Amino acid sequence: MHYFDVLIIGSGLAGQSAALRLADHCKVALVAKTSLEESASARAQGGIAAVLDIQDSVEAHIKDTLIAGAYLNDPKATRFVIENSRQAIEWLIERGVPFTRDDAGYHLTREGGHSARRVIHVADATGMAVQEILTRQVRAHPNISVLEHHIGIDLITGNKLGLADNRCYGAYFLDDVKHQVITIGAANTLIATGGAGKVYLYTTNPDTATGDGIAMAWRAGCRVANMEFIQFHPTCLYHPQAKNFLISEAVRGEGGLLLLADGSRFMPKHDARAELAPRDIVARAIDYEMKKRGLDCVYLDISHKGADFVREHFPNIHARCLEFGIDITKDPIPVVPAAHYTCGGIVCDLNGRTDLPGLYVSGEASCTGLHGANRLASNSLLECLVFSKAAASDILASPPVKRPQLPKWDESRVTDADEEVVISHNWDELRRFMWGYVGIVRTNKRLKRAQHRIRLLMREIDEFYAKFRVSHDLIELRNLVVAADLIVRCAIKRHESRGLHFSLDYSEMAKKACNTVLAGRRLPRI
């Protein structure tokens, strides 16, 4: 068994920034599902929203966030994050992040839903630049033990240990290299595992986004909220050889136009803000036009801005599209919506504390209240930075925890799997019916169908899990079906259309904005 002061599950911006804030004061284990460099944060192109311009204001940023979130946002959480936005950026600058500059200082861009230029960035690959800087520093820190290629199975709680004090004492992980389960104990644990985009057939997320942390916390008894709000990025590159490559919001922010195959625009008839409308509106408009006209995709055109402008502002998108024979300085980009961001997650307070003592959460796995019914563009990395700092501060101020004896993983009643095809088949089935029944536009009938299918899959997966040794694919599937169940249950409970949840059966928005909260407990067996 390994024991640390703090266990961090997840290696994106939320996990790495928390590790660096903690490591000067305690021993930290940072567990990465694959390599330390691979995360959803690394794929973030646009940038980080922050109030940095004297012509901008905290109140304006708050207003934009509330409007995008359809006023389901928690006002205190929203103000907390935005008031700390400048400090978060200053911390990254101190760490050496080379944000793009212009003659006036740092270059700020404007994205959909923002009333001002406030998105600081590193060209069009902000996440990658930030991740590279922090990863080097994490690897170099003597107090951070990095465990790569380890996937979380379950949290270790006082209840499971038969203790009166039900808190989190660590977690079990499968070492994908040695193919054995290890136990990691910790006084405090931070979940920073990201979202559940892989529950859908089409997603911009990396293959690691299977809702692991959300499912683990749910099984441990934590509340989960607002899982129905899945953000579909409006513009994912549509090409048979392209996988999970999104075209940044900033392309539209800098003047990109959405077009049909005949070259005509369609966004102005859907929203007065046209291409600068929030993501939920743009994604729904694209989905509507594609279904109405039987289209495979629509097009995003930035070529009218000139070749030099395009290459300067979007060098990585330009280079990536060229790999597929698309020169965006001359040609429009074929795009489709794809699952992009999980706005709901594990309920936490302003210190990142969950319902389970000793368990914290930061980033996409959380439901802090910042995003409401729809995340405003470039608020996600900001949330990671602010809440990881808050969680780290709270952890450092917490009293010592008595270390219990943690049992090893028990494999005495299981054998090697004899039908691995069951896992791959269930995985494929789940992602397909979630895309078809629980996508951008929903109905009661579709949701009920999805729920029925999910319950059948859960029974199969639980039986498989009880009989056979865990594998990487089985762990992910077990977590993914929990995430799918939470999404559908939340969606069924919401009898209105708000933000990212659009129902043909409840097309109007209710006067009162209410969160959908599911009480933490073991999911029912059939």
CB 107 within 8 A of CB 121: yes
478 catalytic, yes or no? no
In 47-108, which residue ranges form alpha helices assigned H by DSSP? Answer: 58-68, 75-83, 85-95
If you average pLDDT over residues 190-201, what whole number do you get? 96
The fold of 233-239+246-340 is Flavocytochrome C3; Chain A, domain 1 (3.90.700)
b (16+ CB within 10 A) / e for 225-240: bbbbbbbbbbbbbbbe
Q: Is the pLDDT of residue 251 over 50?
A: yes
Q: Can you give 162-219 as a three-state secondary structure string?
A: CCCCCCEEEEEEEECCCCEEEEEEEEEEEECCCCCHHHCCCECCCCCCCCHHHHHHHH
Could you tell me the pLDDT band of residue 524, with boundaries at 50, 70 and 90? very low
If you average pLDDT over residues 124-149, what whole number do you get? 96
pLDDT score of 509: 97
Q: Which amino acid is at 316?
A: N
Q: How far apart are the first and last CA of the chain?
A: 35
Residue scoring higher pLDDT (195 or 296): 195
Write the CB contacts of 468 (distance below 8 Å, at least 6 apart in sequence): 414, 415, 416, 417, 418, 474
pLDDT score of 522: 47
Tokens of 59: 């109140």
At residue 334, the 3 state secondary structure works out as strand
**Which member of 21, 43, 167, 279 is catalytic?**
279
pLDDT score of 521: 64
Write the CB contacts of 84 (distance below 8 Å, at least 6 apart in sequence): 386, 389
pLDDT score of 414: 85
In whole angstroms, what is the distance from residue 507 CA to residue 505 CA? Answer: 6
CB 40 within 8 A of CB 209: yes
**The tokens 């088949």 sit on which residue?**
425
Question: What CATH number has the domain spanning 2-228+343-397?
Answer: 3.50.50.60
What residues pair up with 441 in beta bridges, in sequence order?
Answer: 502
User: Tens digit of pLDDT for each residue in 398-424?
Assistant: 999 999 999 999 888 888 877 778 888
Smallest Cα–Cα separation from 279: which of 291, 269, 289, 267?
A: 267
Could you tell me the pLDDT band of residue 526, with boundaries at 50, 70 and 90? very low
Angle between helices 380-397 and 126-140 (to 10 degrees): 20
At residue 397, the 3 state secondary structure works out as helix
pLDDT score of 523: 36
- pTM here is 0.91
At residue 276, the 3 state secondary structure works out as helix
CB 339 within 8 A of CB 360: no
User: Tens digit of pLDDT for each residue in 496-518?
Assistant: 999 999 999 999 999 999 999 99
pLDDT score of 243: 77
What are the sequence ranges of the domains in the chain? 2-228+343-397, 233-239+246-340, 421-509
What residues pair up with 230 in beta bridges, in sequence order?
Answer: 342
Q: Which amino acid is at 359?
A: L
Which range among 91-95, 331-335, 398-402, 421-425 shows the weakest confidence by mean pLDDT?
421-425
Tokens of 351: 């210190």
E-only strand ranges, 89-149? 101-102, 105-106, 108-109, 119-120, 144-147
E-only strand ranges, 345-477? 345-347, 359-361, 366-367, 441-442
Could you tell me the pLDDT band of residue 525, with boundaries at 50, 70 and 90? very low
Could you tell me the pLDDT band of residue 111, with boundaries at 50, 70 and 90? confident
Domain 421-509 top-level CATH class: mainly alpha
User: Tens digit of pLDDT for each residue in 292-315?
Assistant: 898 989 999 999 999 999 999 999
b (16+ CB within 10 A) / e for 254-284: bebbbbeeeeeebbeebeeebbbbbbbbbbb
Q: What is the mean pLDDT of the chain?
A: 94
CB 184 within 8 A of CB 4: yes
CB 438 within 8 A of CB 149: no
What residues pair up with 155 in beta bridges, in sequence order?
Answer: 171
% helix, strand, coil for the chain, step of 5:
40, 20, 40
Do the domains 2-228+343-397 and 421-509 sit in the same CATH topology, yes or no? no
Smallest Cα–Cα separation from 259: which of 246, 275, 244, 245?
A: 275
pLDDT score of 104: 84
Could you tell me the pLDDT band of residue 340, with boundaries at 50, 70 and 90? very high
If you average pLDDT over residues 344-352, what whole number do you get? 98
User: Tens digit of pLDDT for each residue in 452-501?
Assistant: 999 999 999 999 999 889 999 999 999 999 999 999 999 999 999 999 99
CA distances from 224 to 21, 158, 193, 456, 488 (A): 27, 20, 15, 22, 13
